[in-house]
């Protein structure tokens, strides 16, 4: 028997979410974020779909992710957000580097001159994230210097909101203003170098709720996979990932018996305990101990006791007819998805685990047992 969960990805749901994002932005070009294996959804399959839909560009974190897509036959433009590919990688895999500091820009310029070529780059601007990029109100001269480097052609500028959910729009608007002010200054003062470049800052939340941030291109990630960073339930989006596992055993315990490591749960009644074949080694967070749920027979069943490395326990007393001697029969268990009137999506799991839906998706999506429908 295989271990861990199985993952089903709905291609139709991703298609729907992509079309919804484009509609919100008046059909602006899309840089679709497929880093981290498309948030656990399978980067090659997702990129193949997006390419069929005419995506403007794909966004990855590292060169290795871009190479994986190219070697799988993806031909759409690919932007690399975090590390700078060398000239051989740029040439062989047709990559668009994002430049975050002067040193890598100069190195790239030297390599481009050596190979008698010109490399298109996007420049990362730090408007308040404090992570990578040229600080918008300090590093203007450095940005200007990059545009004058031989062998480099600046074709875009990007920035990133520091509050991905944008529940409070105040600082997001500060960041957007810094970005737009820089754009105006560069175009007004330095002319031709910046006249035709693309400016982009709109993540999923801004695509949905901050229209002034759409600028030239939108850059959605989470919403492509069916989740709203602000609202827990958005009927306009369709979650694409369903995660299932098996119930390995169902055992009847009398009242007063402890369940799991540390005896953190004690039965208050005769209880049908389902042992499910997933644990924290499979991306099912230990923080869901005594707080999370799974779906069995179309109903929610609470996790009881501590989530273990390889298995977890759920109280199935209210979801299995205890009058029938069927508790020894393995049942399907849904960790993420819906069945009957019950639904468990990444937002809800994240709330129970004290984390964010991004982490839920990338953790549960790591399994090699992934099918596409």
- Which residue reads 């801004």 in tokens? 206
Beta bridge partners of 314: 274, 303
The annotation status of 309 as a binding-site residue, yes or no, is: yes
What does the alpha-carbon distance between residue 295 and residue 217 come to, in Å, rounded to a whole number? 39
Q: Residue 281 is encoded by which pair of tokens?
A: 């080694």
- Phi-psi region at 40: left, alpha or beta (left = phi > 0; alpha = psi -120 to 50): left
Q: Residue 130 is encoded by which pair of tokens?
A: 């404090």
3-state DSSP call for residue 180?
helix
What does the alpha-carbon distance between residue 87 and residue 99 come to, in Å, rounded to a whole number? 14
Residues annotated as catalytic (active site), given as ranges: 35, 261
The annotation status of 131 as a binding-site residue, yes or no, is: yes
Identify the DSSP state of 249.
E
Q: Which of 318, 317, 325, 288 is nearest to 303 (CA)?
A: 288
What does the alpha-carbon distance between residue 123 and residue 99 come to, in Å, rounded to a whole number? 5
Beta bridge partners of 339: 342
CB-based contact 160:123 (threshold 8 Å): no
Give binding residues for substrate as ranges: 131, 309
């Amino acid at each position: 028997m295989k271990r861990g969960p199985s993952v089903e990805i709905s291609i139709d749901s991703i298609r729907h979410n992509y079309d919804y994002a484009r509609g919100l932005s008046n059909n602006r070009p899309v840089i679709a974020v497929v880093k981290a294996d498309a948030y656990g959804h399978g980067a090659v399959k997702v990129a193949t779909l997006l390419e069929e839909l005419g995506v403007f560009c794909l966004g990855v974190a590292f060169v290795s992710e871009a190479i994986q897509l190219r070697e799988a036959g993806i031909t759409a433009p690919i932007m690399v957000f975090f590390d700078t590919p060398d000239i051989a990688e740029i040439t062989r895999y047709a990559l668009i580097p994002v430049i975050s500091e002067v040193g890598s820009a100069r190195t790239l310029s030297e390599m481009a001159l050596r190979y008698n070529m010109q490399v298109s780059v996007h420049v990362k601007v730090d408007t308040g994230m404090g992570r990578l990029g040229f600080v918008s109100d300090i590093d203007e001269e450095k940005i200007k210097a990059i545009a004058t480097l031989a062998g480099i052609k600046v074709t875009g500028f990007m920035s990133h909101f520091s509050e991905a959910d944008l529940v409070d729009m105040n600082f997001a608007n500060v960041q957007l203003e810094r970005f737009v002010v820089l754009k105006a200054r560069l175009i007004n003062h330095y002319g031709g170098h910046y006249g035709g470049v693309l400016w982009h800052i709109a993540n999923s939340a801004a695509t949905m709720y901050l229209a002034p941030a759409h600028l030239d291109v939108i850059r959605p990630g989470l919403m492509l996979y069916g989740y709203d960073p602000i609202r827990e339930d958005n009927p306009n989006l369709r979650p694409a990932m369903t995660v299932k596992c098996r119930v390995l055993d169902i055992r009847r315990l009398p009242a007063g018996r402890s369940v799991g490591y540390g005896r953190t749960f004690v039965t208050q009644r005769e209880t049908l305990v389902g042992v499910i074949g997933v644990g924290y080694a499979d991306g099912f967070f230990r923080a869901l101990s005594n707080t999370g749920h799974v779906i069995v027979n179309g109903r929610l069943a609470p996790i009881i006791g501590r989530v273990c490395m390889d298995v977890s326990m759920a109280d199935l007393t209210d979801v299995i007819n205890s009058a029938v001697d069927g508790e020894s029969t393995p049942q399907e268990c849904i960790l993420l998805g819906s069945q009957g009137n019950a639904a468990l999506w990444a937002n809800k799991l994240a709330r129970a685990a004290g984390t964010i839906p991004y982490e839920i998706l990338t953790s549960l999506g790591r399994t090699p047992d992934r099918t596409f429908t």
